[in-house]
Amino acid sequence: MTSQHAWSTPVQLGKVALKNRIAVAPMTRISATEDGLVTEDMVRYYQGFAEGGFGLLITEGIYPDLAHSQGYLHQPGIADDRQAQSWKPVVEAIHGTGAKVIMQLMHAGALSQGNHWTRESIGPSAVQPKGEQLGFYRGEGPYAMPREITEQEIAGVIQSFAAAALRARQAGFDGVEVHGANGYLLDQFLTDYTNHRHDRYGGSTENRVRLLVEVIQAVRAAVGPDFVVGIRISQGKVNDYHHKWANGQQDAEIIFSRIAAAGADYIHTTEYDAQAPAFGEANSDGDTLAGYAKRFGKLTVIANGKLGTPEAADAILAKGDTDIVALGKSALANRDWPRRAVNGGGFEEFDFGLLQPLAHIKTSEV
């Protein structure tokens, strides 16, 4: 007899039916060719998760243009037809198992530490990013000082997300996820200390979320109503783990309600611990970030962060804070996590050695 866990039940994501509520979280593995084409290792890597029983795979962050969006050397792109075509074997391999696949579209902005197409990085303002470049993605030392982009260039960024989303649709993907989290370009606009603009994209929370809203609107207009469109949102960043929104619950209401009104199908929240209260006592009622996304966005929610046991996944689903759970490191350690969970557990611990000295896909993984 199969035991019926909350995570193992089917769920609808926009117009797409998922066989269960466990997704692979987006994870950059810098295993493409220098010019951003998908490699055979990547096809087998993604196929492994699909064969292991995950209902949904969200790809690593993919760059949408040949200008400033690439963040890491050997990151894959979907900036032109050649790159888009190279994704077809990944889509076919995943669909062959009955799983679905969403492409994460990512503009690195000021956190770009390796770009095949340009040496310059851009951001909302000329503010040097905190922290240091990521060594396991071939970076070293402080981040470069970005150049502040013009309103005209912002319009170009919006268009590049829309064009990339359309290419993803044509390549057979089930949807796209706009990367609005973790400190990359859209999150740089959302974040008070990296956005010092005086135009309609800077200042109030309403203004700082405007670029995210306009990207979702443009993507939705490009792909039509029946293609899944989501967005990932976080407080923490790869270069500032502990950042919190200054106005807690009030910011959450503005951000999540505007994203929902823009035409997204889902909100994907990520926190270090998805089950922890999102904000301090003073400016919140103690809910999780996923819970606020649900309350203020009223959309399907994907929650991520330390949810890699069936008990944790079931608990956050049962609480009603989320509809789907995305697994990062626990999925890397257990490519057949859903199979193992059905069979009563026995999970491998994640070993950071897998990502050392570089985070590329290892022979042992394919």
Residues recognised as catalytic: 184
175 binds ligand FMN (CB under 6 A): no
End-to-end CA distance of the chain: 32
Q: Is 203 or 347 the residue whose CB approaches ligand FMN more closely?
A: 347
Dihedral sign from CA coordinates of 284, 286, 289, 291: negative
Instruction: Report phi then psi at 364, rounded to 5.
Output: -65, -20
Shortest Cβ 239–ligand FMN spacing (Å): 13
* Stretch binding ligand FMN (CB under 6 A), from 3-11, 13-21, 196-204, 304-312: 304-312
Three-state secondary structure readout of 96-128:
CCCCEEEEEECCCHHHCCCCCCCCCCEECCCCC
Do the beta carbons of residue 310 and residue 341 sit within 8 Å? Answer: yes
Q: Is 261 helix (H, G, I), strand (E, B) or coil?
A: helix
The residue whose two tokens read 């993604």 is 46
| Least Cβ distance, residue 89 to ligand FMN (angstroms) | 20
Candidates 84-92, 164-172, 205-213, 302-310; binding stretch for ligand FMN (CB under 6 A): 302-310
Site for ligand FMN in 96-155 (CB under 6 A): 104
- Which two tokens mark 213? 């809203």
In the window 60-79, what residues touch ligand FMN (CB under 6 A)? 60-61
* Among 364, 345, 365, 253, residue whose Cα is nearest residue 298: 253
**Residue 269 contacts ligand FMN per CB under 6 A:** no
Q: Which part of the chain contacts ligand FMN (CB under 6 A), choosing from 34-42, 118-126, 175-183, 203-211?
A: 175-183
Closest Cα to residue 136, out of 204, 46, 201, 75? Answer: 75
Binding-site size, ligand FMN (CB under 6 A): 22
Task: Check residue 230 for interaction with ligand FMN (CB under 6 A).
Answer: no
Task: Determine if 36 is a binding residue for ligand FMN (CB under 6 A).
Answer: no
Minimum CB separation of residue 1 from ligand FMN in Å reads 29
Distance of alpha carbon 145 from alpha carbon 287, whole angstroms = 36
Closest distance to ligand FMN from the beta carbon of 137 (Å): 9
Listed ranges 94-102, 193-201, 300-308, 336-344: which one lies at the site for ligand FMN (CB under 6 A): 300-308
| CB distance 308 to 54 below 8 Å | no
- The residue sitting closest to ligand FMN, measured at its beta carbon, is 328
Nearest CA among 24, 95, 40 for reference residue 366: 40
Min CB(238)–ligand FMN separation in Å: 8
Give the shortest CB-180-to-ligand FMN separation in angstroms.
9
Using alpha carbons, select from 57, 41, 16, 87 the residue that is nearest to residue 337.
57
Kindly give, in sequence order, each residue whose CB lies less than 8 Å from that of residue 138, ignoring residues fewer than 6 positions away. 30, 72, 73, 74, 113, 114, 358
Q: Which is nearer to ligand FMN, 106 or 155 (CB)?
A: 106
Contact residue for ligand FMN among 270, 284, 300, 334 (CB under 6 A): 270
Give the binding site for ligand FMN (CB under 6 A): 25-28, 60-61, 104, 179, 181-182, 232, 270, 304-306, 308, 327-330, 355, 359
